[in-house]
Every structure is written in C-alpha cells, then in structure tokens.
Amino acid sequence: MIVDNAVAIAQSRRGHFAEGSYSGRAHVLLERSLMAFRNSAWLAVLSGFFEPVLYLFSFGYGLGHLIGKIPLQNGHIVSYAAYIAPGLLATSAMNGAIYDSTWNVFWKIKFDRIYQSMLQTSLGSVDVALGEISWALLRGFAYAVGFMCVVVPAGLITNWWAVMAIPSAVLIAFGFASVGMAITSCFSTFQQMDLINIAMLPMFLFSGSFYPLTVYPGYLQGFLKALPLWQAISLVRDFTLGMVSWGILWHVLYFVVMISIGVTFTAKRLTKLFLR
C-alpha cells in the first residue's frame, strides 16, 4: 500500500539501517539527475563519449602505425589500438565519474545549495551521497557501452571475456565518483579544485594507458600500481585481451575498498557541512 504522508513515511524508517542518515530513497536523486540531464546536461555527457574514441583513432591508428604489433605476457600478439583501447575505456569511466563528482558536486554545494535543500527534507546524507555517486556510475556504464559499440566493429575485441569490461567500467566509475565526491566535500575554493585537475593529467599519462609500466624502474612501478587508474586499466585490459586469472579479484577488491571509504566519508562530510 502506498502511504502518501511525509511523516508516516519518515516514521516507517524507525529501527532501520542507518536510521537518521539513510531513508532508503537514494533513487530519487537519480530521478533528479535524469531531469537535469534532459534539460541541459546531455551535452557535457555526450562529449565524454567522444573523448576516448578520438584518442583511439589518433593514438591507436596514427601512432600505432609506427609502433606495430605488441606481444602480450600470455604470448598473444595484438595491434597497438587493441592494446590501448581498454586503457581509454577505463580512463573515460574515470573522467566521467570525476567530472560528475568533483566540479558538478562543488557547484551544487557552493552555489546551488542543492544538498542543503535535500537535507532539509526527510532525506539523509547517505541517500544524497549514494544517489549522486550512482549517477556517475550510470554514466560510466553508458560510456562503456558506447565505447564497445566502436571497438567491437573495429575488430579490436576478439574474446567473450571483453563483455566484463562493461561491469568493470561501472565499478571503476563508482570508485572514482565516491572518492571524488569525498575529496570535493572538503574543498571550498576554486584553487583547491584545480588540484584535482593537476593530479588527474599525470595519472592519465603515466598509468599504463599507452605502454606497459615495465619501462619504469621497479620502485616507480610499485607506486604507479598503487594508483587507482592503473588498477582500473589492468582490470579492463585483463578482460578485453582475454588475460583472465584469479588475480583480477585484487583489482575488484581495490575498488570495493575505495567505494566503501568514499561513500562513508562523503556521507560524514555532508552531515558535517549541512547538519551540524
């Protein structure tokens, strides 16, 4: 039965999980994002689809022409475009998630005061954090599907494990979005926000999108492997190039930990910001 009384709805949450900070309505945030998306945000989302595709054609085919074939650890030989495609997919999942969870969130906190309006209703901070992060996750999913629609006809995917790149992209987007939102909730100036851009570009260039980390000395390799983008690229690459082993679970675990920390921290920060 549908109860259409705000108080009765709120009362029904008594004794439930995280009562007071979670109302079980994170999905209404998605409903809001979808409306905002229809109104105007679709252009920004669309540009995120073209980014990896443009990189793929420029680097994969342009530069790939000079580089030739790449031998893999498992003995297979693939084209340079096929080698970098998973890296680009992982990166676009990251970029979409980061854009949504940093600049968009910053704007909503500082200028639109949207979270303030949400938290003056019976929604809780966990609903807001989960809802906003889920939108980034949907975006990651859409990018992954779109990218697949380009790379499969281009002949860059030759095994069925590659389907797993789609849920991987969702996981990656989820991880980056939760940490991105957590970091943003601590920032209050544009200068601080620029730090995010400063960190993102080198991570993109050096995390093994375009060449294997083995070109670096050991200590640097260790550092880069600890970064989330290398974890993301490895996860997607292992699937698209069919290098599947139990080791993949470590990457998955990495993101699960990242998500848990990000969501918990974000909800705590939102509470501190708007419900002191």
2 vs 66, which CB is nearer to other proteins? Answer: 2
- Cα separation of 82 and 158, whole Å? 10
Please name every residue paired with 69 in a beta bridge, in sequence order, or none if there are none.
79
Provide the minimum distance between the beta carbon of 8 and other proteins in the complex, in angstroms, as a whole number. Answer: 8
Pairing label, strands 77-79, 69-71: antiparallel
Choice between 39 and 245, CB closer to other proteins: 39
- Alpha-helical segments (H) within the chain: 6-11, 27-36, 42-55, 64-67, 80-99, 105-107, 114-119, 125-151, 165-184, 190-206, 218-226, 228-240, 248-274
Of 8 and 198, nearer to other proteins (C-beta) is 8
Asked if 139 contacts 97 with a C-beta cutoff of 8 angstroms, the reply is yes
CB nearer other proteins, residue 119 or residue 241? 119
Give me the least distance between CB of 28 and other proteins, in Å please.
Answer: 4
Q: Return the number of the residue (47 or 158) whose C-beta is nearest other proteins.
A: 47
Long-range contacts of 207-211 (CB under 8 A, 24+ apart): 207/87, 207/233, 208/87, 208/233, 208/234, 209/84, 209/87, 209/88, 209/90, 209/91, 209/233, 210/59, 210/84, 210/87
Q: How far is the CB of 185 from other proteins (least distance, A)?
A: 16
The least distance separating other proteins from the CB of residue 125, rounded to whole angstroms, comes to: 10
The nearest distance, CB 139 to other proteins, in angstroms, is 16
* Nearest approach, Cβ of residue 25 and other proteins (Å): 6
Residue position matching structure tokens 């960190």: 199
- Dig out the tokens for 267 from the structure: 């909800």
Say how far residue 102 (Cα) sits from the centre of its chain. 11
Q: Which is nearer to other proteins, 89 or 126 (CB)?
A: 126
Its sign, for the CA torsion 36, 39, 41, 47, is positive
The residue ranges that bind other proteins (CB under 8 A) are 2, 4-7, 9-11, 13, 19-20, 23, 25, 28, 31-32, 35-36, 39-41, 112-114, 116-124, 274-276
